[in-house]
Amino acid sequence: MSTLDPKEPAPVSGQSAKIVGTGIGDGPGPDVMAASSLDGNKVMSSDGEAIGKISDIMLDVRSGRVAYAVLSSGGFLGIGDTLHALPWSALTLDTDDKCFVLDAPAERIRNAPGFDKDNWPSMADMQWGQAVHAYYDRTPYWTATREVVEEQRLNPEP
């Protein structure tokens, strides 16, 4: 059985969420966590503004990868919220502050295409997914090849 070496960089730095901080809580985190334990986590923008909370983690069932985190913003007590699909690779889990940091300023999120809880997009639609990833300047998670993954592991983003 193999285990993750916490001293090694994430195997797919350009396709996965990063982890920063020294906080290690009780249980299995932060490298392997139950998706439900991330629901409700606060999301901060790159310029330090609280922009919402994680409402869902969307899995690509066929590939076994995290596809998107769904950000809930605005509204009050869940009423009138706007939902945004965020590429998983655009997020950094901050274990010290117990939140996610989105690699985008707050204004970018305010102008982002969103949806409401009764009108979800077809997240399996590659054209929709490419537009979401392009908005956040990310490579779609499904395009990674073994060579790209190895290159990103050897040369992680700053």
Could you list the pLDDT tens digit for every one of the 158 residues in the chain? 333 333 333 334 456 667 676 666 665 666 666 777 788 889 999 999 999 999 999 998 888 888 999 999 876 555 568 999 999 999 998 888 889 999 999 999 989 989 988 899 999 999 999 999 999 999 998 886 555 556 666 766 65
Give the length of the chain.
158
> Residue 50: in which H helix or E strand, if any?
strand 50-60
CA distances from 48 to 15, 91, 102, 106, 138 (A): 23, 14, 10, 8, 21
Give the Cα separation of 83 and 86 in Å (integer): 10
Q: Which residue has the tokens 């999120």?
A: 109
pLDDT at 80: 63
Hey, what domains does the chain have and what are their CATH numbers? 18-142 (2.30.30.240)
pLDDT at 85: 95
Q: Which residue has the tokens 């998107």?
A: 68
* Phi, psi (degrees; rounded to nearest 5) at 66: -75, 125
pLDDT at 27: 59
Structure tokens given for 91 = 């997020």
Give the Cα separation of 61 and 48 in Å (integer): 33
